[in-house]
Amino acid sequence: MLPNITFKQGNTCPTILTHISHRPVEEYPLCLITKQKSFHSSELQNVSDHLEAVKSEALLGKWELHLLRTGHPSESVAERLLPLTKIVHSNTSVTKYSLDGETKKFLPDWGEMFLLEIAYRGLCSMAMIYDDHPRIDYLRYVNKHIIAGAHWPRKEDEAGVLYFYLTKC
């Protein structure tokens, strides 16, 4: 669910620094995801660096994952799992499943996850830690309906992070 916010006409958003000089920083990711289909990873990292930390209470509930396409090598694997839903039950219990039509496909090979507050690029915020894989989803607060994320797979460290956002279901 994206809030109804009007942006100036055009195919692209201004730079983040231009945007935040006139509008709230949390509106900038909304501009990007409504106007662009692909992104440069440095642009998304810059946006993430300007967002606030997210608290665990804000993450409780059911969230749908959306990829932000940057050409990351893991995008093709992630796309095959879409639509992907994550359910935050508590700090110690996060599950995810994919949908095959109307049927939920739980993903036991990925294991469960838990929440932990950790520092990423100078800001302590909640992250989803995978139980069975060396992967972390670093999270930043956009608004009560949208959370920005940076997925870091340790085994693909040289490829950087895979960017995504979660929308509240």
User: What digits encode the pLDDT tens for the residues 43-85?
Assistant: 889 889 989 999 999 999 999 999 999 999 989 988 988 999 9
Query: CB-based burial of residue 164 (10 Å sphere; 0-12 exposed, 13-18 middle, 19+ buried)?
Result: buried
pLDDT value at residue 64: 96
In angstroms, the first-to-last Cα distance of the chain is 8
Contact 161, 41 (CB under 8 A): yes
**CB-hemisphere CA count at 13 Å for 120?**
26
Q: How far is CA 31 from CA 2, 51, 111, in A?
A: 10, 14, 34
Alpha carbons 145 and 169: distance in angstroms, whole number: 8
* DSSP 8-state class, residue 51: S
Task: Give residue 8's pLDDT.
Answer: 46
Closest by Cα among 40, 1, 18 to 143: 1
Residue-level pLDDT at 70: 93
pLDDT of residue 11: 53
Give the pLDDT score at 9. Answer: 46
- Closest listed residue to residue 63, CA positions, set 42, 83, 40: 83
pLDDT < 50: residue spans in the chain: 1-9
Task: Quote the tokens at residue 129.
Answer: 């830690």
The reported pLDDT for the residue numbered 17 is 58
Q: How far is CA 62 from CA 7, 96, 128, in A?
A: 28, 9, 14
Task: State how far the Cα of 123 lies from the Cα of 28, in Å rounded to an integer.
Answer: 19
pLDDT of residue 60: 98
